[in-house]
Structure formats: structure tokens, C-alpha cells
């Protein structure tokens, strides 16, 4: 199987998502405890790049690419709270439109009515274009059998993101690549719940001067608005990168008089995305990783308020003051108090032969609550430890991790635990330790219940989809 470089980068970044991409409503029911290492899609041919979205009734949705007869089809499955399939065995076929020989990342979110919304790219028109589908809990195609074309550009359009806005609309963002110049722009679109396109041909964000705008992420803001965060760079591989933010009203007009600069002048590797999370007051926290003195990876956070001003010092606040370790793979979640942000990251020695997880609580203006070098959450040891996801809970956050011995491919564990931030403690439980490579993790929080994690699993062949639920019970 070929997987695009863009996918590999974006899937890694997704592991650091805050899991707060959807409605924020309370969940009246929870998935049952004990749903670990479950089969979501196990079949001949690659089943890859899965997504999960927790619904408000305790149900859950999973989507993935299924390699069938030489094409990457898109499939989806709906599970009840017991982990039982509600749609066709093997998943409902959403689209068998032509794909390329490789796949790009896609998006999955849910709405208050229990439906699922997918956004993905295929080449049905001859170039990559982004399409969105809304699937009812019973498997109906609410936006038609061919979905909604989010744009009609002759350029290649890839790696969509999706969120539910606070007014019930759906918003999307993706990369648009001009094949003649390789210059990339960011495009945003908005749909009403019935699939009506609200922003015409879309809102294009262009860097100008031959530079590219890339890697968009979006988070909901007040009154149906959203905040888009993206990177501007002279070329795809350059470390010369500026992170910017723009708040856009429900009608499509900018809320701020100018784009907000999150950071400029840092050396930011091309394989790291910005990591934003809504601050609960109309603004957003944004984390990123820079290279310090050419050798040390350091992670930072900035707080962009609802009016577009930066609340923390220019250039952001470093996660840790340590100059003898590396800090990367950042993830953010709003603290239970609502007036602080929890940051966690992968802490390693300078040679990257040992790693663990550290954390920090930041006030809205960047003051630290824990030791300046961060609180040790998972001991630094001779394990390659990844943060696969972070989701807020009433007590703190669920942290989902993957780890393996350095140099190993198959001895890979998936684990999760609850971090209580009032009296910091973390005791992860293993959700899967069956030998086999695991990749492309995606996480979504069921508020008040726990968190789902789904991944590519290669214990048997080129890829199956497996999942686990970490319950707070």
C-alpha cells in the first residue's frame, strides 16, 4: 500500500488532537466498559486510516478506507453502546468512486441527531476534490448518494478537516495545491445541516509572494464562528514557517481586522502541525514544536483570545525550561476549570533513546502551575512512547498512548489512563498488546464517559481496523 507523505504527517498530528472537535453536549449514555481490541474492519485487502466519532447516545461511528479490487473505497460502521454493529457487516459502502494509488487523510464528526458526517478526497472528477456525506444512524444518505462537492476547483484538494459549529452548521478546511506551481492555499467551506453550501466557492486563504498556506486546522468559536489555524512557508520542506490564525463569522466574513500571528521566526519542522484547541471563551490555544539551536525539539503554546490578541508573551511560552531534553508530540486539552489549558508532550533524552510523557498546566497568560520542567506523567525509559490522544474529563484528562521498545516494529502496546490534575496521578491500563505494527491512531472523547481510540493493525496482513474504549467507570 502507498500512503501519501501528507497523510503520514497529518495522521501523526492527529494523535495530538484535543478531541474537542464537535458539539460539547453532555452524553446521556456511555459505551460499556470492556470494549477493548475490538474488530471494526477485518477483511482481505488493506483496511486503513480509520477515524472514530463518539455520538451523544453512547453509540459510536468508525470510518476507513477499504482496498477492494484495486480501489480505496470509503466505508463506515455504526456501533451501539455494547459494541455491536448496526450497519452492514464489513461496513456500509459510502463511496467506491475512483481513488489514486494512495490515500490522503479524511474527517469524521457526529451531530446531536446521531448522524455522521464524513469528508474525504477522491479523483472522480479527474483531480482530487473534497466531498462530504451525511449518514443517518440507520445508514441513509442524507445528502444524496454522491454526497456534496465542497468545491469545483481544477487543482488538487486534499486532507479535509471537519467540525460541528455551535449553531449546528458543519465547517470544513483543506489544502488546495496548484499542480503547475506547487503553491498550496487553504480553503474553507460551510454547510447547513441539510447539506446546503453556505460559502459559495469557499474561502481561500493564500500566502502570496510565491509562498504556500498549508496544514489548516479549525476549532469552533462563539455565535457559530470558527477559528482557522494554518502555516505559511516558502516551500513544502522548509523550516521557515509562520503560524497564523483567523476568526471567521458564520456568514464568512473575518471577525478580526487582520490575521493573528501565533508565531514567526521559529525553525518549525515541516513534519509537525500546529495543535489548536478552543479556549471555551471564543479564542483558542495553539501548540507547536520548534527546533532550538539546530538540535533540540521544544514545544510551545500561545493563547489567541476572542478578539485576536495574543495573551501570552510574543513567541509563545515553552512547555519546559529544560535545555537537556527534547519536548515534542504536543497535545492540548482545556482544563476542567475552563480557565487553564493542560499540555502534555513526549519527553526524551537528546539522543532520543529514551522517552516518556510530561505535562504542564498553563493559565490564559502563560503562567505555569507545575514544575518548570513539567510534571512527569510517564517515566522516561528505554521505550518509544507516543501520545496518541488527549481528551478532557471532569477530573482532568484521558491520555491515550502507544509504546514499543526502540528498534521494535511488532511489540507495540496501546494503553490509556486518567490524569487527575488536582492531585496528579496517572496509572495507564493496557488496551491492546497483541504483537503487530500499529499506526494512524485517531481518538475521540465521549464526554463524561471516556475515550475511543482506533488504529491500523497489522497483526495479520497489510492492515485491519481495531479499536478500544477507555471507560471512566
Domain-by-domain residue ranges, the chain? 2-471
Identify the pLDDT of residue 13.
37
Query: In angstroms, rounded to a whole number, what is the distance separating the alpha carbons of residues 284 and 248?
Result: 13
Q: Is pLDDT at 229 greater than 70 in this prediction? A: yes
Query: In angstroms, rounded to a whole number, what is the distance separating the alpha carbons of residues 281 and 364?
Result: 11
Res. 408 pLDDT band, cuts 50 70 90: confident
CB 218 within 8 A of CB 205: no
What is the residue whose three cell numbers read 476542567? 336
| 361-384 average pLDDT score | 96
282-324 pLDDT, tens digit per residue, is 999 999 999 998 999 999 999 999 999 999 999 999 999 999 9
Cell digits of residue 417: 489512563
Q: Is pLDDT at 25 greater than 70 in this prediction? A: no
Query: In angstroms, rounded to a whole number, what is the distance separating the alpha carbons of residues 88 and 85?
Result: 8
Res. 6 pLDDT band, cuts 50 70 90: very low
| 89-106 average pLDDT score | 96
Cell digits of residue 217: 486546522
2-471: CATH number? 2.130.10.10
- What order of strands is seen across the sheet that includes strand 212-220? 212-220, 226-233, 242-248, 260-263
Using the Cα atoms of residue 61, residue 59, residue 38 and residue 141 in order, give the sign of their dihedral.
negative
Amino acid at each position: 500500500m502507498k500512503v501519501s507523505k501528507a497523510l503520514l504527517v497529518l495522521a501523526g498530528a492527529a494523535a495530538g488532537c484535543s478531541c474537542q472537535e464537535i458539539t460539547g453536549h453532555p452524553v446521556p449514555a456511555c459505551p460499556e466498559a470492556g470494549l477493548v481490541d475490538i474488530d471494526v474492519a477485518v477483511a482481505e485487502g488493506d483496511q486503513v486510516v480509520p477515524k472514530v466519532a463518539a455520538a451523544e447516545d453512547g453509540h459510536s461511528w468508525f470510518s476507513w478506507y477499504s482496498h477492494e479490487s484495486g480501489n480505496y473505497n470509503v466505508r463506515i460502521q455504526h456501533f451501539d453502546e455494547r459494541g455491536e454493529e448496526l450497519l452492514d457487516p464489513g461496513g456500509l459502502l459510502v463511496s467506491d468512486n475512483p481513488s489514486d494509488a494512495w490515500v490522503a487523510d479524511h474527517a469524521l464528526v457526529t451531530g446531536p441527531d446521531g448522524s455522521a458526517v464524513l469528508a474525504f478526497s477522491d479523483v472522480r472528477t479527474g483531480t482530487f476534490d473534497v466531498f462530504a456525506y451525511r449518514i443517518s444512524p440507520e445508514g441513509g444518505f442524507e445528502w444524496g448518494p454522491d454526497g456534496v462537492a465542497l468545491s469545483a476547483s481544477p487543482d488538487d484538494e486534499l486532507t479535509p478537516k471537519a467540525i460541528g459549529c455551535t449553531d449546528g452548521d458543519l465547517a470544513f478546511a483543506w489544502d488546495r495545491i496548484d499542480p503547475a506551481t506547487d503553491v498550496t492555499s487553504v480553503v474553507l467551506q460551510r454547510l447547513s445541516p441539510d447539506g446546503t453550501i453556505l460559502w459559495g466557492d469557499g474561502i481561500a486563504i493564500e500566502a502570496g509572494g510565491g509562498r504556500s498556506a498549508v496544514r489548516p486546522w479549525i476549532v469552533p468559536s462563539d455565535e457559530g464562528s470558527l477559528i482557522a489555524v494554518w502555516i505559511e512557508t516558502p516551500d513544502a520542506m522548509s523550516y521557515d514557517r509562520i503560524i497564523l490564525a483567523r476568526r471567521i463569522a458564520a456568514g464568512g466574513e473575518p471577525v478580526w481586522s487582520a490575521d493573528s500571528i501565533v508565531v514567526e521566526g521559529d525553525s518549525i519542522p515541516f513534519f509537525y502541525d500546529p495543535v489548536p484547541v478552543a479556549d471555551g471563551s471564543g479564542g483558542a490555544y495553539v501548540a507547536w514544536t520548534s527546533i532550538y539551536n539546530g538540535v533540540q525539539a521544544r514545544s510551545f503554546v500561545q493563547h489567541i483570545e476572542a478578539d485576536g490578541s495574543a495573551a501570552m508573551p510574543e513567541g509563545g511560552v515553552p512547555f519546559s525550561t529544560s535545555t537537556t531534553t527534547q519536548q515534542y508530540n504536543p497535545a492540548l486539552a482545556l482544563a476542567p476549570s475552563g480557565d487553564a489549558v493542560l499540555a502534555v508532550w513526549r519527553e526524551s533524552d537528546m539522543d532520543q533513546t529514551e522517552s516518556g510523557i510530561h505535562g504542564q498546566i498553563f493559565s490564559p497568560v502563560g503562567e505555569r502551575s507545575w514544575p518548570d520542567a513539567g510534571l512527569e506523567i510517564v517515566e522516561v525509559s528505554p521505550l518509544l512512547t507516543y501520545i496518541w490522544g488527549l481528551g478532557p474529563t471532569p477530573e482532568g484528562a484521558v491520555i491515550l498512548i502507544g509504546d514499543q521498545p526502540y528498534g521494535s516494529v511488532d511489540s507495540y502496546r496501546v494503553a490509556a489512563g486518567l490524569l487527575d490534575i488536582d492531585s496528579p496521578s496517572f496509572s495507564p491500563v493496557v488496551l491492546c498488546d497483541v504483537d503487530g505494527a500499529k499506526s494512524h491512531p485517531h481518538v475521540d472523547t465521549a464526554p463524561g464517559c471516556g475515550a475511543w481510540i482506533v488504529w491500523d493493525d497489522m497483526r495479520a496482513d497489510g492492515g485491519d481496523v481495531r479499536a478500544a474504549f477507555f471507560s471512566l467507570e
